[in-house]
Amino acid sequence: MSYQTFSQAASQVNLAQICHLSTCQKNPLIRLPSDSSAIWVNALWSLCLVISLSCFLFASLLQHWIRRYLHIVQMPRSPQHRVRIRELMTQGIDKHYLLWVAAALPSLFHIAVFLFLTGLLVSLSSTMPAAFMVISACVGVCALLYLAFSLSP
């Protein structure tokens, strides 16, 4: 293949994209996202991904630690030796804030879901207003149910 073949193929693709853009501008139901909304969506979804992966990593580490703890504690030893091991493990829990990490995981996961849904709504608001209204109503109902169940005794 020659350079001319590549440049002709590229020009045909560019022409097809320009035609698509012109039909999108004529159709009021299809709008292209503005630059700021695309940046917001990418930022929100990237944060969601980072937080979700961090939650997965911390949960895996906690699960590994719990398995290790149970294995060490359940080994047949004298009662005095078991007490020393449990005390050492408890000091490790306190020193490395493992209880705080375990308590923070659900909150981090909720933040990740909130960021994802916010990015979805920003994306839909700039591209499909009708879908935005339906999805935002569903998200609102789910958020109210979540708050009601979280605050109930």
> What is the length of the chain?
153
Confidence of residue 105 (pLDDT cuts 50, 70, 90): very high
Check if the beta carbon of residue 43 is closer than 8 Å to that of residue 100: no
**What is the number of other CB atoms lying within 10 angstroms of the CB of residue 99?**
10
The one-character DSSP state at 28 is T
CA separation for the pair 68, 62 (Å, rounded): 10
Cα 74 to chain centroid, rounded: 37
- pLDDT, tens digit (0-9, with 9 covering 90-100), for 19-63: 666 665 555 555 555 578 888 888 999 999 999 999 999 999 999
Q: What is the pLDDT of residue 2?
A: 43
Residue 89 has pLDDT above 80, yes or no: yes
